[in-house]
């Protein structure tokens, strides 16, 4: 999703915390076609693919909110979280706290699976309760009109894009969805 957003808006990319490999920064850089996007280095690059708080403990690193500064850029910036908005960064702070600290809006990606309505609505409610603005939803997977309808109706959050299940993702696929996103962004 981040590659599509970066491609659509020729925005810079930053993943503040990467836990495990492969690096999402490398994936985004490989999938974008525009020459304006700059991929910024992670603040924390942790070795183990687990929650950031646990990966930091394994690596002997302490993560605190005051260690994060938005990259210096005049461009739009897409910031990718690590896990969901309630994933812990440490024993006191969640990913949502980092979003708020950075003064960012959120775009919520909802994958279609049994339980996704509950998961998506809880995520949107958690963001709302923390005063974090939500720009919109991206639905991912096989289309499910009823799931999408009820999530939008119950949350009041609009759909920005629908991404079908793709056999593989390459630059052409990213460009296709970036064009669709641009077409519907201001609706």
**Among residues 31, 59, 66, which one has the least CA distance to residue 45?**
59
End-to-end CA distance of the chain: 20
Separation of alpha carbons 37 and 11, rounded Å? 5
15 is known as an active-site residue: yes
Which position among 15, 57, 135, 171 bears the catalytic label?
15
Per-residue tokens: 67: 């260690």
C-alpha torsion 116→177→135→70, nearest 10 = 110
Per-residue tokens: 144: 């499910």
Separation of alpha carbons 17 and 45, rounded Å? 6
| Catalytically annotated residues | 15
């Amino acid at each position: 999703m981040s590659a599509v957003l970066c491609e659509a808006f020729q925005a810079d990319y930053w993943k503040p915390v990467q836990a495990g490999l492969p690096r999402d920064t490398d994936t985004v850089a490989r999938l974008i076609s525009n020459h304006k996007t700059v991929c910024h280095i992670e603040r924390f690059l942790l070795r183990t693919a687990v929650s950031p708080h646990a990966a930091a403990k394994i690596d002997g690193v302490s993560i605190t909110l005051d260690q994060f500064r938005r990259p210096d850029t005049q461009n739009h910036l897409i910031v990718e979280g690590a896990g969901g908005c309630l994933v812990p960064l440490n024993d006191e702070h969640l990913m949502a706290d980092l979003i708020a600290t950075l003064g960012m809006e959120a775009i919520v990606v909802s994958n279609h699976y049994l339980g996704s309505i509950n998961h998506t609505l809880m995520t949107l409610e958690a963001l709302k309760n923390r005063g974090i603005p939500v720009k919109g939803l991206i639905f991912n997977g096989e289309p499910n009109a009823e799931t999408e309808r009820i999530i939008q109706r119950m949350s009041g959050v609009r759909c920005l894009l629908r991404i079908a299940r793709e056999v593989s993702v390459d630059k052409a696929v990213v460009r296709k969805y970036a064009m669709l996103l641009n077409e519907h962004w201001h609706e």
